[in-house]
Chain A
Amino acid sequence: MSRYQDTFAALAGRGDVAGATAIVDRVRHQLEGSQTIISPPRARRRLTGPVLTAAVFAVMLAVVGAGWALRIAGDHAGDATGTTWVTAGTTAANERFFAIAGGSGGFVADTLRPVIRFSADGITWEEVDLSEMTGAWTPERLLSGTGGWALVGLDIDHRAMILTSPDGQEWTKGAFPDVLSRSLASVAVGAGSYLAWTAAPFADSTAELWWSDNAASWQRVDPAVFADGLPDSIVGHGRGYVAWSGDLALDGGAPYPIYTSGDGVTWRETQLEIDPDLAAVVTSWEPALAQTVGDRWIILGIGHGPEIEPTTLVWTSADGVSWQAQPTPTFDVEDGLANQVGWLLPAGENLIAIVSDAALVEGEDGVRTAHWDEGSARAWATSDGVIWIAGERFEPSVRRATIAIVDGSAIGWWEPGNRPQFVSAPVTTVTTPPESELDPAGIALQDEILADGEVTRAEFESAVAAMAQCLTDHGLEDVHWSVDDDGGFGFGHRSEDDEAESLIGNYCEASYVDRLSAALR
């Protein structure tokens, strides 16, 4: 990026500078009735009808081993109960929330006043007065972790302060060392500890990283623990932290160095490697989000390539050190457009990825372009980072929303006008189905094949063919399949019900193929 720094400076300084006084005069003049200089954007039309419904949902799943078997609890026929988002409540018209974060037992929202609101259900919000601790201040960050919440803001002298709470209702004022108070960049909440670091323009080598287990006394983290200097992205989660340097987008086959830590003090360098099947099409990639569910660490990344839309990549780890690339999630897109994962949040035994889709919008000249702000969003649930179960779509796009999830329920918030709106729903539950709920014919077939401890290609093909028949029997059309030389397989079909496809696919795969794939791996 250094090549472009001077160019950015040139752009930033271009044109005749009117000066602040002239701008003040011009604004006042325009407010009093002068014409606007820039025309308002033309009305855009979102395509409906044939353009959307003509989409053919053709899904190819590349399954490479793994002994998992998951589906929505209680009903494998595709019922979406528990995934519909409904309006949960509103607050007073003039109250504006800054952010929402879910944690143990409820949600916390910070406001423009020195108060926060706490809610156990997303509907009723009780006020907690922080003014004695904060005075007049501006909230900057609301974070949640396994130890509770952290609220960071700036006082009237623009000095950073931090408040913490174990339950969202009782708050304690912490204390930053002077350097953090003067130049705090951000804070991460891990498993019972906090990390805070200073702003680092141009990767300034003077940036500092600090650790605390109580937000009141802080210790500086030795930067030498990071071989390449302080990383510029640190993500806190339920089992610690993941860190990396965000500017590092590598060529497809190169491993990506990251750092992980359980306590924020001891860091281990490790690497992410891309799935060899993807290396052919993904030419650059980098991590983006990290979380944990149960004992499993999960990182979502972004892969790019000249032939593909930006692609979500997944890695999982049992210890934060050894990472395995997982199949790319099939976050099916309504309009065949790119999508983006905006949030990755823990919810009980699951992780919920909120995926936002772009919408195709036709301009007056007939040119259709993708607009993120007019798309919709969908919650995808996973318990292992491998199988992702779709919830229903909801609008608006999460780009304008804050999402928080707590104890199996979810809440979103966005702000049409100045009146906050809330939606909430129990999120999809993902569990490993007991064998008794799978297709007995598939279980018997896998038992028979595995009896001699060997899976031949012919046997595997027969199982995949039976799985394809299972999909057909459950209503999928034009099911086709193939088996790779290395024991992987793929299948595709036509269906306009991608949720049913996902559920039925998991049911049939789990019944007929999963244990064989695991044996082949």
Chain B
Amino acid sequence: MNQTSQMTAEDEDLIRALYPSLRRFAGVVGSLALEPDDLVQEALVRAFRTVRLLDLEDPAAYLRRTVVNLASSGWRRRARERRAVRRLTTEISQTNPAIYPSDIADLLQVEPRGRAVLYLHDIEGLDFTEVARMTDMTEGAARMLASRSRRKLRKLLESEATR
């Protein structure tokens, strides 16, 4: 564990400036089981335990990468739990809880990193160079992930249309 940085008045000002956009981003990439504010809080805590926020070359990008990493690890953990629950449910009754199709359900089937790339590029209007910086991947990888995520959404739309 690295030494924890003390929060200064300048840090507080920086957090207040970054909070609105960072919270929106956390809402998009986090699962519904996670409160966006919890993700933001944890990202900030981890940042302070690693570096001094004001020393970062781009605190906004650093915090967004941390949020994505947290959301991804949480998403994987819950995904495994869901599988376990589904197996158990099936054994008991052979009846799974109904999953109603919706646009939110579609988006949540895209992995957090994919949601982050789509959100940053399609909604916030960042180019892929910037998206890559914000998500800790190469530009080519960001393009590939965006393409893969869009393909998944198209597939979900098509499957809904045939239901």
Contact = CB atoms under 8 A, between A and B. Distances in A.
Q: Does B associate with A?
A: yes
Interface of A: 1, 3-24, 26-28, 30-31, 36-42, 96, 98, 112, 138-139, 141, 185-186, 199-202, 204, 232-233, 246-247, 249, 284, 286, 288-289, 300, 302, 304, 306, 310, 340-344, 356, 363-365, 367, 369, 372, 398-400, 418
Contact of B143 (A22, A202, A246, A304): A246
B41 A399 contact: no
A98 B133 CA distance: 10
A249 B103 contact: no
B77 A42 contact: yes
Contacts of A398: 138
Given A233-B128, A304-B148, A365-B80, A27 B15 contact: yes
A15 B147 contact: no
A1 B140 CA distance: 20
B125 A4 contact: no
Contacts of B41: 23, 26-27, 30, 37
Nearest to B4: A31
Interface residues of B, number: 70
Contact of B16 (A5, A24, A98): A24
Nearest to B51: A418
Given A4-B106, A27-B7, A343 B138 contact: yes
B74 A4 contact: no
B140 A341 contact: yes
B15 A20 contact: yes
Nearest to B6: A31
Contact of B27 (A15, A98, A232): A15
A3 B57 contact: no
Interface in B29-45: 32, 34-42, 44-45
B118 A1 contact: yes
Q: Chain B contact residues: over half helix, strand or loop, or mixed? A: helix
B28 A27 contact: no
Interface in B113-163: 115, 118-119, 121-130, 136-138, 140-141, 143-144, 146-148, 150-151, 153-155, 157
B136 A400 contact: yes
B77 A41 contact: yes
A389 B125 CA distance: 37
Given A17-B37, A288-B143, A304 B103 contact: no
Contact of A232 (B76, B127, B137, B155): B127
A15 B30 CA distance: 11
A399 B137 CA distance: 5
A1 B144 contact: no
B140 A24 contact: no
B84 interface: yes
B73 to A, nearest CB: 4
16 contacts: A5-B123, A7-B103, A14-B27, A17-B23, A19-B19, A24-B12, A38-B70, A185-B130, A186-B129, A246-B146, A286-B147, A288-B140, A288-B144, A304-B147, A365-B84, A369-B76
A185 B127 contact: yes
Contacts of A31: 4, 7, 45, 48-49
A191 to B, nearest CB: 20
Contact of B37 (A7, A15, A249, A341): A15
